Amino acid sequence: MTEPPGGDVEERRSTPVRWLDADEREAWLSLVRVMAKLPPLLDSQLGHRAGLTFFEYTVLAILSEQADRTLRMSRLATLTNSSPSRLSHAARHLEGRGFLRREADPDDGRCIRAVLTGAGWEAVEAAAPGHVDAVRDLVLDALGADQIGAYRQANERILRRVDPEQATRPAWSVATASTR
């Protein structure tokens, strides 16, 4: 490995490196493998069954969970953890298929809202059963009933570090005392 710019990393560190032990390394690498394998599998299922990518489905599903089926694009980008340009590209594609429309926010004309259309609602309704089957098959059914709570707790603990403001938590989602 070549030396990074600015000198030796070890000289600049104030504390020694806490290398991963064998169990930690296996846990980390298993998470990396899940993060690499799961999204393409969900993309494939949704693509074959509904003609949507996982990201497009997520956009439509989030809009479907809103009382008025509407969100500002900026909030939708946060909830989907996407850049504004990625969301705009997906929205343009979904708009072209009649699944959503974009409009000026009546409360602030500088903002744009995404609105789920009737056709978008129907697309989510049609795609959801197959998506839920895939989620169960690939993730939840691999865990025992007692492991699901522990899995959620582990995810919530990680999320407190990677999303401390809980910006990606949907309004309907409630963190219970057991997940804090």
pLDDT digits (tens, 9 = 90+) for 169-179: 888 886 544 44
Give the pLDDT confidence score for residue 109 in this predicted structure: 87
CATH number of the CATH domain containing 82: 1.10.10.10
Check whether 6 has a pLDDT greater than 90. Answer: no
Q: Which residues contact 177 (CB under 8 A, 6 or more apart)?
A: none
Residue type, 160: R
DSSP 20: -
> First CA to last CA across the chain, in angstroms?
40
User: Is residue 49 exposed (0-12), middle (13-18) or buried (19+ Cβ within 10 Å)?
Assistant: middle
Interval 137-145 mean pLDDT: 96
72: closest CA among 113, 115, 116? 113
- What are the pLDDT digits (tens) for 117-128? 999 999 999 999
The answer to whether position 164 is within a domain reads yes
Question: 147 lies in which domain range?
Answer: 53-168
Is residue 163 one of the residues assigned to a domain?
A: yes
Is 7 inside a domain boundary?
no
Residue 118 lies in a domain: yes
pLDDT of residue 12 exceeding 70, the answer is yes
Predicted local distance difference test score (pLDDT) of residue 172: 80
pLDDT (tens digit per residue) in 50-65 = 999 999 999 999 999 9
Length of the chain: 180
Number of domains in the chain: 1
pTM of this structure: 0.86
pLDDT at res. 81: 95
